[in-house]
């Protein structure tokens, strides 16, 4: 029997041509090793209390073509890799796997992927397809009661799981497992965006209304 997708998932099938994105950033240093292009996918059904980007939960949003997103990634200056976050990347796993293939057919970029699921839960063929293309998986839901200031993780239940050797040298020892803070970008109209894993819980409550992450 075909394994079920996680609730709220959006499997595009093998012919995936589009992706539903919440946000993208062309130069980020706080969501994975080095300088990265970051894609926040639209849609997550987990509703973790304390999530810093609840605006991404809705599955509704505009579609972007994989061709356009791949071209955008490849034009991001100086990036070493891509980070996939959300929202829930496993909800659009097939489309993201196709996107990675498009990008890597032109340049060898590393792939970091965040997911609210544990690796052991990801058994659908679409998940397997994406995981086969991921170098570093950061898994598990954010649990506010276990909030911790850790490298690329917001709570101590979340794991850094190298799936290839690409980022093994970046894995922290116990002494070096500390967060790398946030990046803010301020817009001319007074709005702002931020990226990264907050070092303290309830960040959103402390910030004025604005664009998340
Ligand atoms: S899995 Fe991530 S995006 Fe989804 S609700 Fe939890 S913290 Fe937010």
Strand arrangement of the beta sheet that strand 136-139 belongs to: 63-65, 18-28, 36-41, 81-85, 110-114, 136-139, 159-162
Which sign, positive or negative, has the C-alpha torsion 55, 57, 58, 60? positive
CB distance 52 to ligand 1 below 6 Å: no
CATH 3.40.47.10 assigned to domain 18-166+176-206? The reply is no
Q: Assign 3 a pLDDT band (cuts: 50, 70, 90).
A: very low
161/148 Cα distance (integer angstroms): 17
Q: Is the pTM higher than 0.75? A: yes
Task: Find tokens 């990046």 and name the residue.
Answer: 183
Q: Ligand 1: distance of its center to the CA of 114 in Å?
A: 9
Residue bearing the CA closest to ligand 1, atom 6: 48
Ligand 1 atom at minimal distance to the Cα of residue 116: 1
Query: Does residue 154 line the site of ligand 1, with CB under 6 A?
Result: no
How confident is the model at residue 188, as a pLDDT? Answer: 83
Candidate of 23, 61, 87 to mutate for ligand 1, largest count of ligand atoms within 8 Å of Cβ = 87
Query: 15: pLDDT confidence band, cut at 50, 70 and 90?
Result: low
| Ligand 1 center to 29 CA (angstroms) | 20
Domain boundaries, the chain: 18-166+176-206
Q: Which atom of ligand 1 is nearest to the CA of 46?
A: 5
- How close is the Cα of 111 to the center of ligand 1, in Å? 19
Nearest CA to ligand 1 atom 3: 87
Average pLDDT over residues 186-206: 84
Do 182 and 192 meet the contact criterion of CB atoms below 8 Å apart?
Answer: no
Q: What is the pLDDT of residues 32-84, one digit of tens each?
A: 999 999 999 999 999 999 999 999 999 998 999 999 999 999 999 999 999 99
């Amino acid at each position: 029997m075909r394994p079920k997708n996680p609730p709220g998932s959006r499997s595009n099938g093998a012919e995936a041509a589009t992706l539903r994105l919440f946000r993208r950033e062309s130069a980020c240093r706080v969501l994975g090793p080095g300088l990265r292009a970051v894609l926040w996918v639209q849609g997550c059904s987990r509703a973790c209390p304390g999530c810093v980007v609840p605006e991404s939960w809705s599955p509704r949003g505009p579609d972007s073509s994989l061709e356009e997103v791949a071209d955008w990634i490849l034009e991001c200056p100086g990036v070493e890799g891509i980070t996939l976050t959300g929202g829930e990347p496993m909800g659009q796993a097939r489309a993201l796997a196709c996107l990675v293939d498009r990008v890597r057919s032109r340049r060898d970029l590393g792939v970091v992927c965040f997911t609210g699921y544990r690796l052991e839960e990801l058994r659908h063929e679409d998940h397997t397809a994406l995981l086969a293309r991921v170098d570093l998986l950061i898994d598990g839901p954010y649990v506010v009661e276990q909030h911790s200031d850790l490298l690329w993780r917001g709570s101590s239940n979340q794991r850094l799981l190298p799936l290839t050797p690409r980022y093994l040298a970046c894995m922290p020892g116990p002494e070096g497992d500390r967060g790398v803070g946030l990046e803010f970008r301020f817009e001319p109209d007074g709005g702002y965006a931020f990226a990264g894993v907050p070092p303290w819980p309830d960040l959103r409550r402390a910030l004025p209304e604005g664009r998340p992450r």
